[in-house]
Amino acid sequence: MARLKAIARPRDVEDLAAIQERNRIAREIHDSLGHTLTAQNIQLQTAVKLWQRDVNQAQGFIEQAQRLAVTAMQEVRRSVSTLRADVREEPYFLSVGCFSNKKISL
């Protein structure tokens, strides 16, 4: 039993480290996406208010909101890619070949 605990503990430490890393990435996604969506919302609100007075300026705010959406999607893809790489390295998934021929896209 003591030997089993000694063997299990390094794995528990690895599992805890993986969970902590995933949580860090999830917080990063939340913070980054939250900031970007807030900025995008401000751009769109400004465009709506300007629309009657200056369509060209309003269009500039809409274009900025569109660029923010592209940036947000890129950041989410990068973070999800990092999470997928971490999961693929888990011993269980390596042993059963879960990701051998799977194509996953976001």
pLDDT digits (tens, 9 = 90+) for 1-22: 556 555 667 777 788 888 888 8
Domain presence at residue 27: yes
Q: Which domain, by its residues, includes 71?
A: 2-96
Q: Which long-range contacts (CB under 8 A, 24 or more apart) does 78-84 make?
A: 79/25, 79/28, 79/29, 79/32, 80/29, 80/106, 82/25, 83/22, 83/25
Domain presence at residue 104: no
* The token pair that represents 42 in the structure block: 């401000």
Domain presence at residue 102: no
Domain presence at residue 103: no
Q: What is the mean pLDDT of residues 25-51?
A: 93
pLDDT at 64 > cutoff 80: yes
R_g (Cα) of the chain, nearest Å: 22
Q: How many domains does the chain have?
A: 1
Q: Could you tell me which of 44, 43, 37 has the C-alpha nearest to residue 71? A: 37
The residues, ordered by sequence, that sit 6+ positions from 47 with a Cβ below 8 Å of its Cβ are 58, 59, 61, 62, 65
In Å, how far are 5, 20, 32, 71 from 41, measured between CA atoms? 52, 31, 14, 14
Domain presence at residue 73: yes
Domain presence at residue 50: yes
Domain presence at residue 101: no
Domain presence at residue 14: yes
Q: What is the mean pLDDT of residues 52-67?
A: 97
pLDDT band at 96 (very low <50, low <70, confident <90, very high): very low
